[in-house]
Every structure is written in structure tokens, then in C-alpha cells.
Amino acid sequence: MKNIISEVISVVIIALVLQGLNLFVPNVDAEQLTPYKQTILYEEDAQSANRVVFPIDINFATTEELKMVKGIGDVMAQRIIDYRKQHHYFMSLEELKAVRGIGDATYDKISTYFILDLSAISEPAQARDYPK
């Protein structure tokens, strides 16, 4: 009986996700998530009691939000912010690889924490030529 109930619950959860329901998933690593734009993940920093909802927009992420991503420390967070300021926004998530210290492996680990909403930035910034 227990197996039937757990299977029914699994089917209901899958149906809700397919209908676009956002789910609250507490304190899990990005590796445990299936990349899906609408997944909501809450991370809390025990030291500062900050709460961040992931994924976050890479063009508006603060240093503190960036540092809450596993694999991004003080130096990397500052490099991302500096790159963003220098190039007037990221135009694709893959552009993160242009930040010194972010290669394919690091990008694969951190990219599920980010989204990119180009509609939130100005048209002149969208029209810029950026490095590929």
C-alpha cells in the first residue's frame, strides 16, 4: 500500500510540474536540480541570514547573491561584477565563460543558478557588440 501511495504522489507532483507550478526546494545543490527555468531554490547563508531565490538574473545579481552560489567566492564574484560593468551587461549566459577563471567545468556547475532577462535592460545595451 505504501508503494502505491508514493507512486500516486510522484505522478501528482510530475503533473503539477508539467503544468508550470513553481516548487519550493530547500537547501539543495545545483547538481541535484534538473535544469528547468522555473525551478525555485532558496539558499540561506547561515552567517548573515541572507535569503536568495535562485535562479537569479546574472545582470542584476549582487556580490552577496553571487557568493551564495557554490563555487563562487569573493574574488570570482567581483570578477563577474567587473566584467558586467565593463561590458554593460551579459548578453548570454555563455558569456560567463569570458570571465577570467570561469571555464567549461565551472560554467557547467554554476549556470543552473542563473537566468538572463534581456527585456530588463535598455535597448542600447542590447545592441552592443560583445566578445564571443
Give CA–CA dist 125/130, Å, rounded.
10
Residue 38: its pLDDT value, please?
42
Between the CA of residue 119 and those of 48, 57, 76, what are the distances in Å? 32, 11, 26
Q: What is the CA radius of gyration of the chain?
A: 17
The mean per-residue pLDDT over the stretch 61-75 comes to 94
Domains contained in the chain, number? 1
Mind listing the pLDDT tens digit for each residue in 85-94? 999 899 999 9
The answer to the question of residue 44 being in a domain is yes
State percent of the chain over pLDDT 90: 45
Report the CATH number that the domain containing residue 37 is assigned in CATH.
Answer: 1.10.150.320
CA dist 113 and 40 (Å) reads: 10
The pLDDT assigned to 62 comes to 94
Domain that holds residue 108: 22-126
- As a whole number, the mean pLDDT across the chain is 75
Does this model's pTM top 0.75? no
pLDDT of res. 21: 57
Say what the pLDDT of residue 11 is: 63
Q: Is residue 76 part of a domain?
A: yes
Band (130; pLDDT cuts 50, 70, 90)? very low
Is 7 inside any structural domain?
no
| Beta carbons of 106 and 114 less than 8 angstroms apart | no
Mean pLDDT to the nearest integer, 12-18: 65
